[in-house]
Amino acid sequence: MSSDIGDIAIRSPESLYNSVPFESLTIHIGERNNGLFSWLLSQRGFDVTILSAQARNRFTGAYGPPFDHFIMMVRLEGHRWLCGTDSPQEPRSTELYKFTLEPRERDDFRAMYDDHQSSAGSIFFCKSLCSLLLPTGRFTVRGRRPIITSLSSVDGQQATQTTADLSDEEITELLREKFGIVLHSPLTPKDFFI
């Protein structure tokens, strides 16, 4: 079953696997990645509870609204583990989210998915993003800029290197080479100030 909301849809977990719309790199990935991961864990027999989190803005320190972020609590051998598919690029001692332990359903996030797609204050609306987790950090394309973030194994701190803006042709080639993404229509990169 699929219910369209803006440019994305709340889908059944089974349909998420092949639903990567690369032509729209600004989609909110929480519904797909964390939704699919929660379904996978439950199919493998894990006790999974979906939780609503408010993500902390690393620049302002302010927290987003309820249902801003989809996370999971997994019970395993008498312990509770907080799980998700994101890989925050913050030192381990940094506070990333606030949340309650009230169980949620995937459909509870519907309004925020719509907001992430249409709000001028949402990074997913204002920026074209494509990111690849690497063993030593992350490679990201934001708008026209490639960004390499390296994590120090000693102190957990990060170092970021940004190169010059890329042309349309260079972005298309970079997406193909680094991410395996072949665009079937022209991409208009977005990198608006939030």
pLDDT tens string, the chain, 194 residues long: the values are 333 333 334 445 555 444 444 334 333 454 567 888 888 899 999 999 999 998 887 767 888 889 988 889 999 999 999 888 765 555 556 778 899 999 999 889 888 888 877 877 777 777 788 888 788 888 888 888 888 888 765 665 667 777 788 888 888 898 889 888 888 887 888 777 66
Which range marks the domain in which residue 180 is found? Answer: 127-193
d(CA 50, CA 27): 20
- Nearest alpha-carbon partner for 136 in 116, 157, 105, 114: 157
- In a domain, residue 154? The reply is yes
The reply to whether 119 falls in a domain is no
Give residue 81's pLDDT: 93
Residue 120: burial class (beta carbons within 10 Å; 0-12, 13-18, 19+):
exposed
| 179 falls within a domain | yes
Q: Are the C-beta atoms of residues 72 and 83 closer than 8 Å to each other?
A: yes
Q: Which three-class secondary structure state does DSSP give residue 47?
A: strand
| Structure tokens, 137 | 């950090």
Determine, yes or no, domain membership for 68: no
44-46-50 Cα angle (round to 5): 115
Q: What are the beta bridge partners of residue 10?
A: 3
Distances (CA, A) of 34 to 16, 37, 52: 10, 5, 12
What pLDDT, on the 0 to 100 scale, is given for residue 191? 76
- Distance CA(24)–CA(128), nearest Å, equals 8
**Residue 151 Cα distances to 131, 137, 159, angstroms:** 15, 5, 7
Report yes or no: 190 and 128 within 8 Å, Cβ to Cβ: yes
* Rounded distance between C-alpha atoms, residue 97 and residue 187, angstroms: 32
Residue partners of 68: CB distance under 8 A and separation at least 6: 52, 53, 54, 55, 112
User: 4 with 25: CB under 8 angstroms?
Assistant: no
Query: Does pTM surpass 0.85?
Result: no
Tell me whether residue 186 is in a domain: yes
Number of domains in the chain: 1
pLDDT value of residue 92: 56
User: What are the φ and ψ backbone dihedral angles of 143, each rounded to 5 degrees?
Assistant: 65, -120
DSSP element (H, E) containing 117: helix 110-118
Residue 89 lies in a domain: no
pLDDT of residue 28: 43
Q: Tell whether 109 is covered by a domain.
A: no
- Check residue 1 and give its pLDDT: 31
- Say if CB 113 and CB 67 are below 8 A apart: no
> How confident is the model at residue 31, as a pLDDT?
55
